[in-house]
Each structure stands twice: as structure tokens, then as C-alpha cells.
Amino acid sequence: MPADPVAIARDLIRCRSVTPEDGGALAYLDDVLAHAGFVVHRETFTEPGTAPIENLYARIGTAAPNLMFAGHTDVVPPGDEGAWRHPPFAGDVAGGKVYGRGAVDMKGGIACSVAAVLEYLAHVGGKPKGSISFLITGDEEAISVNGTVKLLQWVAARGETFDHCVLGEPSNVETLGDCIKVGRRGSLSGTLYVDGVQGHVAYPHRAANPVPDIAGLVVALSQEPLDHGSAQFQASNLEFTSIDVGNTASNVIPAQARAKFNIRFNDLHTQDSLRTLVEQRMTKAAGNRVRARIVWEYCNANVFVTKPGAFTDLAVAAIEEVAGRKPELSTSGGTSDARFISSYCPVIEFGLVGQTMHQVDERTPVSDLEQLTKIYRGILDRYFA
Ligand SMILES: [Zn+2]
């Protein structure tokens, strides 16, 4: 099979893998990788109350180091398919661009990594010096419980280890080569409750109104910064997203008020240290009179960062050579599966340009697919040199 990233991307786009459906995407990759000499495993993971999800782990070589390419074949729904100029699952090429759901997030990225690896293997006579592996899930776009987390555990239970990972999420902002993600902030959510005493608005002395009290706490917790940023991260941020009383009457003082918030936090905090800090501030602002408490949500989005070093250097060099620009090492944006991978090995995220991801007419230039394949090939050459 020729190592053509455009052909692979189009084939993958034609698999209707709207999360949690697979649409034949993993069977396709299984076939391509098995032909190239990979040992391919397809594992289905389940959890009560969730859809069973198929995942793929493929490896060629048994020696260290093991360089992993990671990604997901599931995509977000296309929305109104009639609004697309090119059908979302056709894989059309028009005006030098490949159209379709997943073109940039992230079937295009997977296609480039597969093409680069096939080319590299052809160049070295079919066997890498160490090992190359693919860790591909069908569960990233929704709840991410039967995907990368469990697949990493499954591989580790076999006694296999990873040395470095390239996750092909669309990391670039404007142009191919402008950004490598080397970390992500963590995410933690909670609900602030203030208990009052219900009563008639005409007799407030017999009630305790939680509305002004929660308003005061919301202001207090929003105003004081959590930190001022770290060497590699912007400042952490606590953002209230709603305040609810659920009161339909205009003559009743409600018994309780609640406010939801989310914190995006950097490497100066852990979930535990943040909970302590926010609760201390709440207690201080509440004083002795206001009855306030926070209920925290379970969250698996911890902060991580890959420190600059030999691995980031070789990725930067490969990008500079092909794209002609030095990428920024960024830690901005939301969470990704890199947060799970980072517990096993250093991980960087580098893929296509993210501009049209999750949009109607998601698309990527053919030239970006070709360039990204060259960049991955450059990473492979340097890594195993
Ligand atoms: Zn993605």
C-alpha cells in the first residue's frame, strides 16, 4: 500500500465513526498496520452505563525506545449534513483541500503519522531500531472512559512501556508549524452552596436570605487570583458559570442558593491543594454567620507539562526544517488525552491546524497533510538516529 496521507485520510473520513460508533475505522488501520508488519491488538472496553468502545494498539519491534503515536478515530457529529458544501463522510478533495468530519480532528493527523511510519519503515528495510507503536482510541470526543486511559493500563499490564509520545491532535492555531502543545492545564469543577432560612419577604427578620450571601462569596472567590502564572503556564482561573436559587415566587425568601464554577489550573497546584485553598478562602469570606460549603465533582483532568529537552528539541527541529518556522511551546487550550498519556511517558501534541475542527465543512489543505507527514518522518529519523 502506498504511503499516501491524503488517500488514508479520505479512507478514514469515509468511516462514519461519530462517537461512540467506530464505522470500520479501526479495522481499516488494523489492515494497513498489519500489512506493514505491526502486531495489532483490538481491545473493547466497557463500563456500566456507557457504550462499549473498541481501541487499537499496534507495535512493530520489541526493543527500546518505544515511540508512540497516539490519536482518536471518533469524531463529533456533523450537525445538519445539508449545510456542508461537501458531504461530511465523503472525503471529497476540492480546491486543494480534503473535506470531511475529522479531516483535522483528527483522522488527518492519524493519516500523516501512519504514512510517515510506513515511509520510514520502507527506508530502514521494514524494521525500526527500537519500536514504533500506535495507540488509537474510539473514545475521545465524548466521555473518554473506555479509551486511552484503559488502553494505557492494558498495555502496561502486558509489561510494555513507552518512552515518548506524539499525539496528533490539531495543535496549530493559524499555520502548520506554529505551535506544539507541551502541556495542558487541569480542570476542576465544584458547586458552592449557601444555606439560609426560608421565609416571607415581608418578615425578613424571621428568615435568612442566602442570595446576598452567595453573591458576596462569588465575588470574593472570583476576585482573588489563584496565582500569577508559572514558567510554562498562564495564571490559573476560577470561573463561576451559574448561580441558581430555583425560586418561582416573588414573596418567598429561598432556603438555599448554589453556584457552579470551574477552575483551570496550572502546575503550581494539584486538585487537593486547590480544594484546600478555595475552601479556606470560602470559610474566611463566609465568616461565622454564613453557612457555606462546596461539593466538588470527580475529575480526571490533571495538569501536566513536558519539560523542554532532547525530545521537544528534535520535534522543533523537524518542524523548522519542513515548515520553516520555529513553533511556540504552548500549554494553552482545553484538555486532551495527553493528560492520561503523561502518566506513562513524556508527550507532545502536534498535528494539523485546528481552525475548522468541529465546524461545518471541516477541511485541511492537501499540502498540510503532505507537510505534516514530512515532519513526522523527520521526528522518526531524528528519534532513531
Ligand atoms: Zn481531537
Q: What is the DSSP string of 144-200?
A: -SSSHHHHHHHHHHTT---SEEEE-S--BSSSTTSEEE-EE-EEEEEEEEEE-B-EE
Which pLDDT score is estimated for 300? 76
Instruction: Give φ, ψ of 368 to 5 degrees.
Output: -70, -40
- Summarize the confidence of residues 30-58 as an average pLDDT: 96
CA distance 164 to 65: 8
CA distance 47 to 53: 9
Any idea what DSSP says for residue 81?
G
Please state, rounded to an integer, the average pLDDT across all residues of the chain: 96
Ligand 1 centre and the CA of 144: distance in Å? 11
Which single residue is written with the C-alpha cell 500569577?
Answer: 228
Where in the sequence numbering do the catalytic residues fall? Answer: 74, 140
Residue of 303, 297, 198 whose CA lies nearest to 256? 198
Ligand 1 centre and the CA of 239: distance in Å? 24
CA distance 171 to 181: 6
The radius of gyration computed from the CA coordinates of the chain, to the nearest angstrom, equals 24
Tell me the residue type at 53.
Answer: I
Integer angstrom CA distances of residue 145 from 41, 114, 139, 149: 19, 25, 7, 7
Ligand 1 centre and the CA of 292: distance in Å? 38
Q: What is the pLDDT of residues 263-319, one digit of tens each?
A: 999 999 999 999 999 999 999 999 999 999 999 998 878 899 999 999 999 999 999
Q: What is the pLDDT of residues 72-119, one digit of tens each?
A: 999 999 999 999 999 999 999 999 999 999 999 999 999 999 999 999
Ligand 1 centre and the CA of 263: distance in Å? 22
CA distance 118 to 96: 24
Question: Which range has the worst mean pLDDT, 27-36, 81-90, 198-207, 332-341?
Answer: 332-341
Q: What percentage of the chain carries pLDDT values higher than 90?
A: 94
- Summarize the confidence of residues 191-220 as an average pLDDT: 97
Question: Which range has the worst mean pLDDT, 25-39, 138-152, 165-179, 258-272?
Answer: 138-152
pLDDT at 376 over 60: yes
Contacts of 328 (CB under 8 A, 6+ apart): 178, 179, 180
Length of the chain in terms of residues written: 385
Ligand 1 centre and the CA of 137: distance in Å? 11
Which pLDDT score is estimated for 44? 96
Which pLDDT score is estimated for 287? 96
Ligand 1 centre and the CA of 213: distance in Å? 41
Ligand 1 centre and the CA of 358: distance in Å? 9
CA distance 301 to 342: 11
186 beta partners: 265
CA distance 369 to 381: 18
Instruction: Count CB-CB contacts under 10 A for residue 255.
Output: 17
pLDDT at 143 over 70: yes
Integer angstrom CA distances of residue 42 from 28, 90, 282, 347: 12, 26, 48, 23
Q: Of all helices (H) and strands (E), which one includes residue 66? A: strand 66-72
pLDDT at 1 over 60: no
Ligand 1 centre and the CA of 170: distance in Å? 7
Ligand 1 centre and the CA of 200: distance in Å? 52
Ion ligand 1: residues, Cβ under 5 Å: 105-106, 169
Binned at pLDDT 50, 70 and 90, residue 332 comes out as: confident
- Between the CA atoms of 241, 244, 250 and 252, what dihedral angle is there, to the nearest 10 degrees? -150
Question: Which range has the worst mean pLDDT, 314-318, 322-326, 334-338?
Answer: 334-338
CA distance 140 to 144: 5
Ligand 1 centre and the CA of 166: distance in Å? 13
- Between the CA atoms of 178, 179, 180 and 185, what dihedral angle is there, to the nearest 10 degrees? 180
pLDDT at 197 over 80: yes
Distance between the two ends of the chain, CA-based, in angstroms? 26
Tell me the residue type at 97.
Answer: K
Binned at pLDDT 50, 70 and 90, residue 2 comes out as: low
| Lookup: cell for 180 | 506544539
Instruction: Count CB-CB contacts under 10 A for residue 361.
Output: 16
Ligand 1 centre and the CA of 191: distance in Å? 28
CA distance 277 to 262: 14
Which pLDDT score is estimated for 3? 85
Distance of CA 108 to the CA centre of its chain: 16
pLDDT at 322 over 90: yes
Ligand 1 centre and the CA of 351: distance in Å? 10
Which pLDDT score is estimated for 142? 81
Tell me the residue type at 5.
Answer: P
